[in-house]
Amino acid sequence: MGCNAAELLKYAIDAHNRKYEFWQRDSLAVNLYSRHVMHQKLNYIHFNPLVIHCNLASNPWVYYYSSARFYELKEKNFNFLKDVREEC
């Protein structure tokens, strides 16, 4: 474990698929308490495949698995998507 053994032991867990856990289990849960926050998070999701370290697409709607295709091109490739603009 090296020189940080004591620190690492703080994160030890008893799981069949890992020895340590560093992140909170529901770390991605974000309360969408306003339209502004909802659109902010949706934009983040849509533009994330474009960032330099991912570089998966040139535009959000070009990436096949992005819901940006649903919003921008009106493509309904995934039946679980709902238009959040209609929900608010």
pTM above 0.75, yes or no: no
Q: Take residue 33 and report the two structure tokens written for it.
A: 């308490």
Nearest C-alpha neighbor of 60 from the set 79, 73, 41: 73
Q: Take residue 79 and report the two structure tokens written for it.
A: 């039946």
> Do the Cβ atoms of 46 and 67 come closer than 8 Å?
yes
pLDDT, tens digit, 9 for 90 and up, residues 41-84: 899 989 888 877 778 888 899 888 889 999 999 999 988 888 88
Three-state secondary structure readout of 19-75: CECCCCCCCCCCCCCCHHHHHHHHHHHHHHHHCCCCCCCCCHHHCCCCCHHHHHCCC
